[in-house]
Amino acid sequence: MKLTLISSALLVVGASAKLHTPSTHVDYVRRALPSDAAGYAKLDNPTKECKYYTPPEMEQMLKDRLPKAGKVADILPNDDEAKKVWKEIQDTGIIPEEVKTKPDASNGKHAEVDIKSANYDADKDPDCWWSASQCTKPKHNKIPEDIAVCPEGSTYGLTFDDGPNCSHNAFYDFLKQKKLKASLFYIGTNVATWPYQAQRGLADGHDICVHTWSHPAMTTLSDSQVFAELFYTVRVIKAVLGITTTCWRPPFGDTDDRVRAIAAGLGLRTIHWREDTDDWQMASTGSPKQVRQNYDKIVDKASNESPIVLAHELHNDTMSIFIEKESKIADAYKHVAPVSACMNVTNPYMENQIVYPNFEEYTGGNANYKGLPDMSNMKINPNVDFSALSLAKMDTGFAPGGENKKQTDTGSATFSSDSSDDGSKNAKGSKDGGSGGKDNSHKENGAIQFSSLSLWAALLSSITITFVTFQV
């Protein structure tokens, strides 16, 4: 089976270049491209997949309901709904005042946290700051433990960050052919820019989770910025896909109890990882050798652990290398499953009409997905509203208690109380020489993703297309 994927890079247009006006650009794209997710899913030409388009509903949202693409979000001045939800979270008292903002190491870009200048006591780790200690068990009340492993034996937790990628059809086709579902952590800017590609992720039955609006180091942001990065991603996902997601993953893994608390107030469970492929590095080094070795190390641990594994839907290389390694993963692990299945979360969204299989059903060949939308009928609702329900009040989704009780409760998280056990002692990250560790993804590229270019950048830039064809 021959698959072709795409990677794209921006070339800045000179000041004298003639640009299409937005309306001319949009009219041209509408004539040349499909008008729904079903049409986009059929495309096998990455050039067409990655031509820019703006559905009228997204144009409406982009005027005053979403932040600027790729820029760190804050609450929009006239967004009364966001202000109301934010006040409700503040009024609960869940946000620990003693956990302070961490220093930024990227000159205000919020692309890297400065652990050294923070003078933080990683041994005592009062903030459960993952970047300093890989802590996953919060030290403050009312915040659930992070999910980082699958409780079932010999299970590979399949996850991909930074989607939707405009050229992912070949990759998603491969997952479908192999009957694999994954947990997909979508960036809000990318959902706004590639809404039809995002819709396919849900229609195919994958877990849809939040990966922030602009991919910042979250602990370097103010409280309202942390909220906005999550809130506007939840909003655009609900507008485009029609679901209220209940899971998120912090970029670079950077989170602490302040950030977790705000996420929990929005109804979002924090999902980390135990093993890291470091596949993002191929964007800068151009060599997949080390990433292949990272995958091989994870494969070698199949008899000893059930890790949630960090990989990326970032560009051609990251998607291609998983396809290359999939057969070895499947041979080594008894099960390859999304986080919803390995945690027995059968109602991953607040909209309970969508039902996913539990672990037993997923691995036993009875993976019946109910209520998934038909791509040809999916609509974008620019006027979607959102009412926050904190994890503490939820009994569905990825909240503790949302798991299907038919399966074992081993590894199910509970809400934390003040405790000296930070949960980081057994973390298999860079500390023990494993391939896991901190996700330093995209430092070279800042907050904008390599191949998922923003709508606004498209009007000011040209695209260099590189095709890579491979056999599987």
Distance CA(84)–CA(387), nearest Å, equals 9
Q: Of 402, 385, 170, give the one whose Cα is nearest residue 268.
A: 402
Distance CA(430)–CA(465), nearest Å, equals 35
Catalytic residue (one of 206, 215, 312, 315) = 312
Distance CA(305)–CA(308), nearest Å, equals 10
Q: Of 59, 50, 66, give the one whose Cα is nearest residue 4.
A: 50
- The SS3 of residue 202 is helix
> Does residue 161 carry a catalytic annotation?
yes
Asked if 101 contacts 114 with a C-beta cutoff of 8 angstroms, the reply is: no
Distance CA(227)–CA(313), nearest Å, equals 25
Q: Of 136, 166, 432, give the one whose Cα is nearest residue 313.
A: 166
> Does residue 296 carry a catalytic annotation?
no
- CA quadruple 438, 443, 444, 449: dihedral positive or negative? positive
Distance CA(72)–CA(61), nearest Å, equals 17
Asked if 459 contacts 25 with a C-beta cutoff of 8 angstroms, the reply is: yes
Distance CA(135)–CA(41), nearest Å, equals 39
> What Å distances lie between residue 255 and 223, 424, 438, CA to CA?
12, 14, 11
Helix (H) / strand (E) containing 210? strand 207-210
Asked if 309 contacts 298 with a C-beta cutoff of 8 angstroms, the reply is: yes
Catalytic residue (one of 125, 127, 161, 439) = 161
Asked if 408 contacts 151 with a C-beta cutoff of 8 angstroms, the reply is: yes
Catalytic positions: 161, 312
